[in-house]
């Protein structure tokens, strides 16, 4: 088992999996990046929620996106941070309801973009240049690292990624996709502008080495959701706490955030439309 998956599985086995008959509120996180970093990033919000809700809050992560969806379906988690696509799947599978999405510092919208990156010295300048190349995506259940880049390739070339690329694989996390390009184990990768900017800031990649060759239209932001069958009063209390968190603490989440704004199911219709247009089966997206 790869080290990253082993670590996530260890977290699940030790402290982050809620028992079947849980008493605490449990917060699930898709493993968009390194599991340890994801848990650490959301820790201030976990502590804040405990204080505001007056009850213990635990954190859960899994080895893949589908694991978090399944945990909500089995009622082992109450709140979850999903990507847009994993939310839509969780809506179908577990009755997930979106209620908030993070607004990045300096911005007024919760949207973000999917991007394709390649080494700047590779000669790869456009999506059509990726024909026959070794390309990595993040996860079939990722929006910016799965659904949207698939849509972009199909729209540009008329072919699905596994038909157009010479070699095609999933890395499991956005940062791993970026590093595959940096380390020359892949010719190009699909990622998002949030992880790209974060890794530039941390010095993990450089604009002189890793260039963006294509970017998508804006995507609706990754939502915080809760189970639809939670008590209505509890849902209202959770939502109020999250939407007002910036008044009490420096909010944390995916990327550098200023606050959380309200979102609704209809904000994610473009995701449902892309799934339908591509003819994707639920089973294929939840591998």
What pLDDT, in 10s, does the model give residues 85-113? Answer: 999 999 999 999 999 999 999 989 999 99
Q: CATH number of the domain at 202, please.
A: 3.40.190.10
Mean pLDDT score, 24-42: 89
Strands 167-170 and 257-262: unpaired
Q: Which residues have a Cβ under 8 Å from the Cβ of 253 and sit 6 or more positions away?
A: 41, 42, 45, 81, 102, 260
Is residue 31 domain-shared with residue 92, that is, in the same domain?
yes
Last residue of a domain, one of 159, 184, 215: 215
**Which residues constitute the domain of residue 201?**
114-215
Q: Report d(CA 142, CA 191) in Å as an integer.
A: 9
Is residue 139 domain-shared with residue 266, that is, in the same domain?
no
Contact 97, 239 (CB under 8 A): no
Residue that is written with structure tokens 């990768």 in the block: 189
Confidence of residue 38 (pLDDT cuts 50, 70, 90): confident
Is residue 202 domain-shared with residue 134, that is, in the same domain?
yes
This prediction's pTM: 0.87
User: How many domains does the chain divide into?
Assistant: 2
SS (H, E, C) 92-126: HHHCEEEEEEEEECCCCCCCECEEEEEECCCCCCC
Is residue 7 domain-shared with residue 95, that is, in the same domain?
yes
Structure token pair of residue 96:
């997930």
H-run or E-run covering 258: strand 257-262
Last residue of a domain, one of 168, 187, 215: 215
């Amino acid at each position: 088992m790869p080290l990253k998956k082993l670590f996530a599985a260890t977290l699940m086995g030790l402290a982050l999996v809620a028992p079947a008959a849980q008493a605490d509120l449990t917060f699930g996180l898709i493993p968009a990046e390194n599991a340890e970093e994801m848990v650490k990033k959301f820790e201030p919000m976990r502590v804040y929620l405990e204080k505001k809700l007056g009850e213990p809050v635990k954190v859960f992560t899994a080895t893949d996106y589908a694991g978090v969806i399944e945990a909500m379906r089995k009622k082992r988690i109450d709140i979850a941070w999903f990507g847009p696509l994993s939310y839509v799947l969780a809506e179908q599978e577990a009755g997930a309801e979106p209620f908030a999405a993070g607004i990045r510092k300096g911005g007024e919208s919760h949207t973000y973009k999917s991007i394709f990156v390649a080494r700047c010295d590779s000669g790869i300048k456009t999506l059509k240049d990726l024909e026959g190349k070794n390309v990595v995506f993040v996860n079939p259940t990722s929006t910016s690292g799965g659904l949207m880049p698939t849509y972009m390739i199909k729209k540009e070339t008329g072919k699905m990624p596994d038909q157009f690329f010479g070699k095609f694989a999933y890395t499991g996390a956005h940062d791993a996709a970026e590093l595959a390009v940096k380390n020359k184990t892949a010719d190009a990768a699909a990622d998002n502008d949030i992880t790209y900017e974060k890794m530039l800031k941390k010095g993990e990649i450089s604009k002189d080495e890793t260039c963006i060759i294509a970017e998508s239209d804006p995507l609706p932001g990754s939502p915080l959701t809760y189970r639809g069958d939670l008590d209505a009063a509890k849902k209202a209390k959770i939502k109020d706490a999250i939407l007002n968190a910036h008044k009490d603490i420096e909010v944390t989440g995916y990327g550098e955030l200023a606050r959380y704004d309200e979102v609704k199911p209809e904000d994610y219709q473009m995701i449902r439309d892309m799934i339908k247009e591509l003819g994707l089966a639920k089973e294929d997206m939840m591998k």
